[in-house]
Amino acid sequence: MEWNSLTISVAVVGGLVFVSVALYATVVVRRRLKSSYGQRAIQAFRLQREMLEAKFFDVAATLGKPRGLRWIECDWEDNVTFARDRESGLLTAFVAVNIRFEAIEGGDMEDVPAVDTIRDAAAVFHYKNSRWGTGGKALFNLNPDEALVRLENQFEPLAPVR
- CB contact at 8 A, 94 and 147: yes
Q: What is the DSSP code (8-state) at residue 75? A: E
Asked if the structure places residue 14 within a domain, the reply is yes
Asked if the structure places residue 31 within a domain, the reply is yes
Asked if the structure places residue 84 within a domain, the reply is yes
Q: Is the dihedral of CA 26, 27, 29, 33 positive or negative?
A: positive
Asked if the structure places residue 86 within a domain, the reply is yes
More confident residue, 57 or 114: 57
Question: Could you tell me the pLDDT band of residue 11, with boundaries at 50, 70 and 90?
Answer: low
Mean pLDDT (the chain) is: 85
For residues 74-100, give the mean pLDDT. Answer: 96
At 27 the pLDDT is 43
At 82 the pLDDT is 96
Dist CA 133 CA 127 (whole Å):
6
Which range marks the domain in which residue 129 is found?
A: 5-157
Q: Over pLDDT 90: what percentage of the chain?
A: 61
Asked if the structure places residue 162 within a domain, the reply is no
For residues 79-107, give the mean pLDDT. Answer: 94
At residue 9, does pLDDT exceed 80? no
Q: What is the DSSP code (8-state) at residue 116? A: G
Instruction: Classify each residue of 82-106 as buried b or exposed e, where b means 16 or more C-beta atoms within 10 Å of its C-beta.
Output: bbbeeeeeebbbbbbbebbbebeee
3-state secondary structure of 143: coil
Total tally of structural domains belonging to the chain:
1
Query: pLDDT tens, 32-63?
Result: 444 588 899 999 999 999 999 999 999 999 99
Q: Over pLDDT 70: what percentage of the chain?
A: 77
At residue 26, does pLDDT exceed 50? no
For residues 100-123, give the mean pLDDT. Answer: 87
At residue 18, does pLDDT exceed 70? no
At residue 88, does pLDDT exceed 70? yes
